[in-house]
Amino acid sequence: MPAPLFQPGDSLTVSNATAVLEQGLQALAQQQSAIDLALVTTIDSSAVAVLLAWQRAAGARKQMLTFRNLPDNLRSLIALYGVDPLLPTDAGDHPRDR
């Protein structure tokens, strides 16, 4: 049985990126198929790196991973860096389905 849906706290910045990354990797190890970012309000570019790392880890495990409730500021950064096709959200398809 999968663990409860993983939700990072309200901040995902360089100051806590390593710890949040590890928490998410633990959730993936427990067969999580989604990460809910509804609580995240403070971000920097580290947040994008963390999401990409989670996606790579899920791919290595042959797991599907979806990101839910991305805040607008994070969606903007993802689009700015041009990695939105690599990060499936609840508002789009999974890259493997294309």
Mean pLDDT of 30-53: 96
Domains parsed from the chain with CATH numbers: 11-97 (3.30.750.24)
Burial grade of 2 (CB within 10 A; 0-12, 13-18, 19 or more)? exposed
Residue type, 76: S
Mean pLDDT of 22-47: 96
Residue 65 pairs in a beta bridge with none
CA distance 63 to 70: 20
pLDDT at 12 over 50: yes
How sure is the predictor about 2, in pLDDT bands with cuts at 50, 70 and 90? low
The whole-model pTM stands at: 0.87
pLDDT at 97 over 80: no
Mean pLDDT (the chain) is: 90
